[in-house]
Amino acid sequence: MGKGRGEASTVKETTTHGNYVTPPSPSESAGERSLLLDNHGRPINYLRLAVTDRCNLRCFYCMPEEGIDWLARKELMTYEEMLRICTLLINMGIEKIRITGGEPFVRKDIMPFLTDLSKLNGLKELTLTTNGVLTAPLVPELKKLGIRSVNLSLDTIDRNRFFAITRRDELPQVLETMHQLLRHGIEVKLNAVVMEGKNTDDIIPLIGLTKDLPVSVRFIEEMPFNGTGTYHPMHWDYVRILQTIKEHYPTIQKIQDPAYSTSYNYQVPGHKGSVGIIAAYTRSFCGTCNRIRITPQGMLKTCLYDNGVLNIKDLIRIGSSDDTIKTQLLTAITHRPKDGHEAEKNSTHESMAAIGG
């Protein structure tokens, strides 16, 4: 990642808007560092940037099998536009960027873009979420870019169930990506959406992976973002997931949750890896939410459940100055809903691939 910190101009704006405060760490000079706070006093330091809505899988909880209205190329943010926004947001206080989608690796020239991003001054952590289908051969290059952790979607380790869920027969490639990441010393978090009648039989086998592999398996409550406009009731909330796990692993222990973690974390004694449960639908983590999102078409979302609160792409394309864009970003960040339930009141449910999960 780049070495520098925020610029002096950020600190000036701090005073103007009163929403940046100097951080508690005495090791960082107040002149260099700023902390971006939302209107509920939550620090905002994490951006999830979706670089495409396209994907080489068709996970049924994320998008329909056919008839998808893909964004036209001109509707996507260009890499240049994304780099500009990332630079501004880093200057405002963003420290970590996760690249997501759609599937990031189906977008052309993603590796040169990641290379440019990894060099941005002030960025502390660059990470990504991938389905792992095309990722394995790129792992050495990702390692060279300084990527230390990758979220890999893996809802099942059964090839037939993988096909039933994703509508593609790609499980071997995904498992190869997992092993490649581990061989290169990159932390692996496996994301599994828990779905009634689809993969609840995989909960225990997925935890079995943590016995010998230092992976974190995270079970996610299904959210209503399948792009079909129909809503599947969520049958498996975190309480039910945990109960099921405890029936099989009664000795499983609660472990410390990292700061801003969206998962409740556990470990089976003697296992190398860990287990997390993400209450994505019941939304128990909104109180410490430190993240914002930018969709592939350049909409800022200050909550996963809102409909997009600022069209950044349009702002750029009408020729706005950096200062104007920063002011608008700050206005949006300081008008955040309290939680996902409040945000959801005025919103519709798109495909997760169009949001950037």
Binding site for ligand SF4 (CB under 6 A): 55, 57-59, 62-63, 101-103, 131, 153, 352-353
- Considering the complex, state which of residue 95 and residue 222 has its C-beta at the smaller distance from ligand SAM: 222
β strands within 90-212, DSSP E: 96-100, 125-130, 149-153, 187-194
Do 209 and 273 form a contact (C-beta atoms < 8 A)?
yes
36 vs 304, beta carbon nearer ligand SAM: 304
Q: Which of 354, 317, 348, 350 is nearest to 51 (CA)?
A: 354
CA-to-CA separations, 324 to 16, 21, 120, 320, in angstroms, rounded: 14, 21, 21, 6
Member of 226, 262, 274, 295 binding ligand SAM (CB under 6 A): 226
- Do strands 187-194 and 291-294 pair parallel, antiparallel, or not at all (unpaired)? unpaired
Residue 332 contact among ligand SAM, ligand SF4, none, beta carbon within 5 to 8 Å by kind: none
Closest contact distance (angstroms) between CB of 129 and ligand SAM is: 4
Stretch that binds ligand SAM, among 173-181, 206-214, 223-231, 250-258 (CB under 6 A): 223-231
Nearest approach in angstroms of CB 73 to ligand SF4 is 18
Q: For residues 170 and 55, give the distance between their C-alpha atoms in angstroms, rounded to a whole number.
A: 13
* Lookup: tokens for 74: 């001109």
* Residue 63 interacts with, from ligand SF4, ligand SAM, none (CB under 5-8 Å by kind): ligand SF4
CA angle, corner 146, sides to 262 and 152, nearest 5?
45
Smallest separation (angstroms) from ligand SAM to the CB of 32: 33
CA-to-CA dists, residue 90 to 5, 78, 178, 333, angstroms: 8, 18, 30, 14
122's tokens: 């002030």
Phi, psi angle pair for 108, to nearest 5°: -60, 145
Nearer to ligand SF4, 101 or 273 (CB): 101
Please pick, from the candidates 92, 223, 325, 332, the single residue that binds ligand SAM as defined by CB under 6 A. 223
Tokens of 3: 């070495």
Contact 77, 298 (CB under 8 A): yes
Residue 58 binding target from ligand SF4, ligand SAM, none, CB below 5 to 8 Å by type: ligand SF4
Q: Give the nearer residue to ligand SF4 in terms of CB position, either 19 or 262.
A: 262
| Binding of residue 199 to ligand SAM (CB under 6 A) | no
CB-based burial label for 144 (10 Å; 0-12, 13-18, 19+): exposed
CB of 45 to ligand SAM, least distance (A): 20
Among the listed residues 14, 177, 180, 191, the single contact to ligand SAM using CB under 6 A:
191
What part of residues 87-126 is at the interface with ligand SAM (CB under 6 A)? 100-101, 103
Q: Does 193 bind ligand SAM (CB under 6 A)?
A: yes
Say if CB 298 and CB 312 are below 8 A apart. Answer: yes
Q: Are 186 and 143 in contact (CB under 8 A)?
A: yes
Nearest approach, Cβ of residue 222 and ligand SAM (Å):
5
Per-residue interface string for the shown chain with ligand SAM, residues 153-172, x marking contact by CB under 6 A = x-------------------
191 binds, among ligand SAM, ligand SF4, none (CB under 5 to 8 A by kind): ligand SAM
The footprint of ligand SAM (CB under 6 A) covers 55, 61-62, 100-101, 103, 129-131, 153, 191, 193, 220, 222-223, 225-226, 280, 352-353, 357
